[in-house]
Chains A and B, each alone.
Chain A
Amino acid sequence: MASQLHDGRLVRVVGWAAIAIAMSGCVTVYQPLVGLQRPIAVDPQTPDTFAATRVLVRCHPAEGVEPDVLCRNLRSSLSKQGATVTTEVVRPAARAAAATPSDAPPQYIIDVTSKRLHQSEDALLALLCVFSFTLVPAVTEYTFGQDVSIRDAQGFVLAQQSYQERLVESFGLGVWALNGLIDLLIRPKSEQVTGDGYKAEFTRDLHGHLAQLLYNAKVRARVMNNFAPEPVAEKASGASP
């Protein structure tokens, strides 16, 4: 009889734990560390910033980051600003086929390496999280870095920059529910920490700085050519729809 009672209690505890985990959510806070918080002078929303500009984005694989996704996102961002973008995921063993074959060579080659630099979890909090049915949050911290360099068609380095950012992720029913409530009632939209706001903020920062870097590279190329018009670019411009 006692054993049955004990088993029943165990089932109830496991059941509550399962419900708690199922209902739990993440609260992720994004913090720009290096370079990304610096203001930019170009407006990434302007559709013709890179009109008649052919760009090859090469994403290099590194630990903790999917280069395919990165390349796809960067292509989308630069295309919206008028650039003709070709992407390439550089594999150590073999090269993947270019996503968008182009009949004209690129004017600018952007090499992007994004990698996870650091990851840490608090073991004590993780333990507390489990034993408190996720009411005490488990906290994981990630630091990512991006190295970007832009070259012209001849391989001359026009611009390069490194960025770093940090994501602090809190998992648990308590922290998620309370923050959800505060987000709903108190915090303005820009300050909200539940949901995917951090992704949008990071994407806005990274894409904005990449646009600024490409713009700086374009101007630098013009200066180095003594402000000569870009014949290849004009030809491409005429060819583009």
Chain B
Amino acid sequence: MRRVVLACALALAATGRAEEAIDPREQQLELLRAEVASEVQLQAAELIDELVYGWTLRAPFDVDTGVVLAGVSVPVSLGTGLEAYLETHLAGLVTRNPRTHLQLVHCPSCSAWVVHSGATGTVVSRGFDAPEALAKAGLSSGAKHALFLDFEAEGSSLVLRARLTTLDASLRIVSARTLSTATSAPAMLRESERLTSVAEARKSYLEALGGRGLFLVPVRIGVRSYAPGTQTSINTTPFLWVSAGLEAAFSQARAWTASMNAAFSWLPQSHVAVMAQGRVARLLTGNSTSLTWPDLYGFVGAGVLFGQGRGMLIFRNTNPTIDDVLNTNTNNEPRATLGILTVGLELRVKNRIGVSVFLETLPVIETTDNIGTYVDVLVRFQSFGVEVSFCF
């Protein structure tokens, strides 16, 4: 236990990590690029979703129009094959959303380099920059417009600049749009067949969050064992408990929760006991519960236990006498009422199932004759317990 405490304290104090000098910098940069690309990929797809959704509301053309996807450029120094993914994503969206009136046309010569010699000289350019040259060469795809998508990372924002140009001598921009997102905003992950606005997607997200509710009904099954005391003739049997209660949270984040439980324990020939307990828990793994990862809570609690039966003899400060044992046979069973203070940790998955471990101290137990001590830090913890919980 002391080692654990020491490790925690050292981890707390370590307010910075040493750079790993062993790994070559190049290797780190490559790993970083891969990591960043996976994040950029989602956000870039999100921006394309928003662009196409805008076109479904206000199509750039009144009738179905052939458009060449002339180019997708990614942020400078981030060449990770992102272009191909984004082209495919856009093509899929446009195909599934005919209201955009865009029909993507394949034009390999549009992105090829073209050498065009005329009266004014020789010009080397990409096909979509010299459509008249393509037309003269009979390489035109028949499409009258080209679409350019340009992504750039500006600090913590990813910016998409999209423009549709005419494929004639003027290369006029007929539609342009700038969209921006931030890393702090999660991707909406909209369905490609049924694109919705950001506001609608956000509403769905909030509804999903709200669906979790501020109140839960936890049902717990657990076992408490008590440390053996110095009086070796006393057998401290573990107590099996079943409890149910109500848990409330301040907000959807569920960073702080409070709960009240009523518990029941019964063992033939030993005891019947009930317990009322209150707990306050704090999320330790962040400021809000995760929808994908388990959450770890730390909790403290207080409770009152009342029980009767031979098993309750261990909660006395005096050693059981022969009379005490005999009394149990004459329907005058020993009774005990005591307070309990609890500290523990609970690991929860999606606020549905959880497992917790805890230590309890029984302040009224002054001697170690009947019940011993598991851990002695500031106070004596005489009981150790494990619970499995199901939340409804």
Contact = CB atoms under 8 A, between A and B. Distances in A.
Do A and B actually bind? yes
Interface string A150-179: 000000000000000000001000110011
A178 B18 CA distance: 15
16 contacts: A27-B15, A170-B15, A174-B13, A175-B13, A175-B15, A178-B10, A178-B13, A179-B13, A179-B14, A179-B15, A182-B13, A182-B16, A188-B19, A191-B18, A193-B15, A193-B16
Contacts of B10: 178
Interface of B: 9-10, 13-19
A232 interface: no
Interface of A: 27, 29, 170, 174-175, 178-179, 182, 186-188, 191-193
Contacts of A178: 9-10, 13-14
A88 B19 CA distance: 43
A31 to B, nearest CB: 12
A170 B12 CA distance: 12
Residue with the greatest number of chain A CB neighbours at <10 A, chosen from B9, B10, B16, B17? B16
B215 to A, nearest CB: 27
A29 B18 contact: no
B64 to A, nearest CB: 46
A105 B9 CA distance: 59
B13 to A, nearest CB: 3
A188 B18 contact: yes
Q: Most A CB atoms within 10 A — which of B9, B13, B18, B19? A: B13
- Interface on chain B toward A: helix, strand, loop, or mixed SS? loop
Nearest to A191: B16
Contacts of A191: 16-19
A43 to B, nearest CB: 22
A182 B14 contact: yes
Nearest to A175: B13
Contacts of B18: 186-188, 191
A137 to B, nearest CB: 9
Contacts, number: 29
B76 to A, nearest CB: 14
Contacts of A193: 15-16
Contacts of A27: 15
Given A174-B9, A174-B13, A179-B15, 9 more contacts: A27-B15, A170-B15, A178-B10, A178-B13, A179-B13, A182-B14, A182-B16, A188-B19, A193-B16
A65 to B, nearest CB: 26
A192 B19 CA distance: 12
A42 to B, nearest CB: 20
Contacts of A170: 15
Contacts of A192: 16
Contacts of B17: 191
A29 B13 contact: no
Contacts of B19: 188, 191
Nearest to B16: A191
Contacts of A188: 18-19
B13 A187 contact: no
Interface centre among B10, B15, B17 (most CB of A within 10 A): B15
A29 B14 CA distance: 12
Contacts of B15: 27, 29, 170, 175, 179, 193
- Going nearest first, the 7 A-B pairs with the smallest beta carbon separation are A178-B13, A191-B16, A186-B18, A187-B18, A193-B15, A193-B16, A179-B13
A187 B17 CA distance: 7
Contacts of A174: 9, 13
A191 B20 CA distance: 12
B155 to A, nearest CB: 8
A170 B16 CA distance: 14
Nearest to A180: B13
Contacts of B13: 174-175, 178-179, 182
A178 B17 CA distance: 14
A188 B17 CA distance: 9
A197 B10 CA distance: 22
A54 B329 CA distance: 104
Contacts of A29: 15
A102 B14 CA distance: 51
Nearest to B13: A178
B298 to A, nearest CB: 16
Contacts of B9: 174, 178
Contacts of B16: 182, 187, 191-193
A175 B17 CA distance: 15
A48 B19 CA distance: 35
B311 to A, nearest CB: 40
